[in-house]
Amino acid sequence: MTATALTTNTPTVAAAAAGPGSSTGPEIAPATGFRRRAVGAVAIVGGVLTAAGFAATVWEASGSKADYLASLVSDPFRSQLAAVLLHFGYMAFIPVLVVFAAMTRRRWRVGGTIGIGLSAIGALALPGLLVTDFYDMAMRQTLPVDMAVRASDAAQELPLGALVGGPFIMVMFVGFLVATVAAWRAGFAHWLMALPLVVGVALPMVFDVDPIANIVSGACLGLFLVSVGVAALRMSDAQWVTGRRDA
145-189: pLDDT as tens digits: 999 999 998 888 888 887 887 789 999 999 999 999 999 999 999
The angle subtended at Cα 105 by Cα 175 and Cα 43, nearest 5°, is 55
pLDDT band at 2 (very low <50, low <70, confident <90, very high): very low
**Residue 24 falls within a domain, yes or no?**
no
Q: What's at 55, amino acid-wise? A: A
Is pLDDT of 18 > 60? no
Q: What percentage of the chain exceeds 70 in pLDDT?
A: 89
Side-chain half-sphere exposure of 80, counting CA atoms within 13 A: 8
Average pLDDT of the segment spanning 105-132: 94
Q: What's at 194, amino acid-wise? A: A
Is pLDDT of 223 > 90? yes
Is pLDDT of 1 > 70? no
**Residue 230 falls within a domain, yes or no?**
yes
Name 15's Cβ contacts closer than 8 Å, sequence gap at least 6: 22, 23
Is pLDDT of 94 > 90? yes
**Residue 128 falls within a domain, yes or no?**
yes
Domains held by the chain: number: 1
**Residue 19 falls within a domain, yes or no?**
no
pLDDT number for residue 24: 61
- For 186, the domain range is 31-242
**Residue 21 falls within a domain, yes or no?**
no
**Residue 2 falls within a domain, yes or no?**
no
pLDDT number for residue 22: 44
Number of continuous H segments (helices) and E segments (strands) in the chain: 12, 0
pLDDT number for residue 96: 97
